[in-house]
Amino acid sequence: MKLAIHRLLAASPPASEAIDRFLDEHASPIVEGTSLTFLYRGEADAVHLRHFIYGLETSQPFHRVEATDLWYLVLELPRESTMQYKLDVIRGGEHDWILDPRNPHLAHDPFGANSVCSTDGRVRPPWTLPDPEARAGRLVEHELSSRAFKATRRFRVYEPARLRARRLYPLLVVHDGSDYLRFSDLKTVLDNLIHRLEVPPLVVALTDAGERLDEYPDHPAHSSFLAEELVPYMEEAYPLRARPSARALMGASFGGVASLAAAWRRPGVFGRLLLQSGSFAFTDIGRHRRGPTFDPVVKFMNAFREAPGRPSEKVFMSCGTYESLIYENRSLVPVLQSTGMEVRYVEARDGHNWVNWRDRLREGLSWLFPGPLWMVYE
């Protein structure tokens, strides 16, 4: 297949009018199978693609079309790949990292936004988009005076549509709940999966840390708060099934570490774990190279790998193949399986981001808590 950019370059150099027509006809990047052609038009000394795919050079230089202000880069990625990126436009030695002005698709996170694109075969799952036929649950503010943290902890609870006092519900506790709502469309996902009968109606406690990097890596107070304060509070406030198989912890990145650590410290409380791109750094010999922020994570993971116990019953794990943490996540799977827990592990051609975590929610939640649809057809 001849790439569109090569057809443009057949007229060397292309006239300004030909470039105008070409840009009018093509968005950026141009997706042609496994080829992504990124475009930038403007005066610059150099243009680089700054991407977040572990294993590739993080800065990829654009090529300038001779005697024009058009720049392009052709990048090959496997089918069904998603990448986030920015453009680094260099003028007079100054670097300006910008969103791709020709790409309207953005992925947001707590630090801002990135441009996002995919190769052929990857589309946004329809169950992540608002469905007018799905009955909407609601978010309710709660607060709890915590003895473990010696402070008031505020959190939100997702109540499924048609919540009934005489019906018992599973409980899902989500770390970084506000981020999951904002960046992974968690409320929309829950509304849709419940409407589609892929998961049962769930009551979901959406928690946020006070000091995330301190609390999440195996902090005793955090485990005490979840098991001894939050769960009893939720069982008093809502009609919940009071057994481990009806309770789940969920988290991504450091939230994945927090979920595993809390279940490890309080075995028999949480029978389900959903761990997404967990920051499961560890060492076999020597020191790790991820910086002091990961010191408590490594301490916990080394202790866990030495004596994992049986912290839960079922564990769903997901990770992106373009993440630096892919090795640690793959390595953890046999450790979890050795405990007798039922483990399902999936990978996607994506990175360490909220879009990746959003797109794995259907598979994870419906496996841990299968709704009537899966109970019938699996």
In the block, which residue shows the tokens 């609390």?
A: 215
Interval 17-39: pLDDT, tens: 889 999 999 988 999 999 999 99
Contact in structure between 98 and 105 (CB atoms under 8 Å) = no
The confidence score (pLDDT) of residue 27 equals 86
Q: Does domain 4-118 have CATH number 2.60.40.10?
A: yes
Coil vs helix vs strand at 177: helix
Whether residue 378 has pLDDT greater than 60: no
Q: Single out the residue of 240, 219, 222, 250 nearest to residue 314, CA to CA.
A: 250
130 Cβ neighbours under 8 A, 6+ residues apart: 188
Least confident of 2-6, 226-230, 365-369: 2-6
* From 137-146, 188-197, 284-293, the region with the lowest mean pLDDT: 284-293
Kindly report the pTM of this predicted structure.
Answer: 0.94
pLDDT (tens digit, 9 = 90+) per residue, 75-130? 999 999 999 999 999 999 999 999 999 999 999 999 999 999 999 999 999 999 99
Is 198's pLDDT higher than 80? Answer: yes
297-306 average pLDDT score:
97
Task: Report DSSP letters for 249-279, one per residue.
Answer: EEEETHHHHHHHHHHHHSTTT--EEEEES--
In our burial notation (b when 16+ CB lie closer than 10 A, e otherwise), range 261-292 reads bbbbbbeebbbbbbbbbbbbbbeeeeeeebee
pLDDT at residue 374 in the model? 66
Q: Are strands 30-32 and 35-41 parallel, antiparallel or unpaired?
A: antiparallel
Measured distance CA(87)–CA(197) in Å, rounded: 42
| Per-residue confidence (pLDDT) for residue 230, from 0 to 100 | 98
pLDDT reported for residue 149 = 96
Interstrand relation of 247-252 and 272-276 (parallel, antiparallel or unpaired): parallel
Return the ∠ at Cα 269 (arms to 155 and 280), rounded to 5°: 75
End-to-end CA separation in angstroms for the chain? 41
Residue with tokens 């039922």: 342
pLDDT tens for residues 32-75?
999 999 999 999 999 999 999 999 999 999 999 988 999 999 99
Query: Residue 215 pLDDT > 80, yes or no?
Result: yes
Q: What is the predicted pLDDT for the residue at 1?
A: 45
Q: Which residues contact 281 (CB under 8 A, 6 or more apart)?
A: 288, 290, 294, 297, 298, 301, 325, 328
Q: Give the span between the Cα atoms of 372 and 104, in whole angstroms.
A: 38
Q: Is 310 exposed, middle or buried (0-12, 13-18, 19+ CB in 10 A)?
A: middle
pLDDT band at 325 (very low <50, low <70, confident <90, very high): very high
pLDDT for 62 equals 97
pLDDT for position 376: 54
pLDDT at 2 (0 to 100): 58
Contact in structure between 171 and 245 (CB atoms under 8 Å)? no
Give domain limits for the chain: 4-118, 126-377
CATH code given to domain 126-377: 3.40.50.1820
> Which pLDDT score, from 0 to 100, does residue 10 have?
80
Q: Would the pLDDT of 341 be above 70?
A: yes
Question: How many of the other CB atoms lie within 10 Å of CB of 181?
Answer: 20
How many Å separate Cα 127 from the centre of its chain?
16
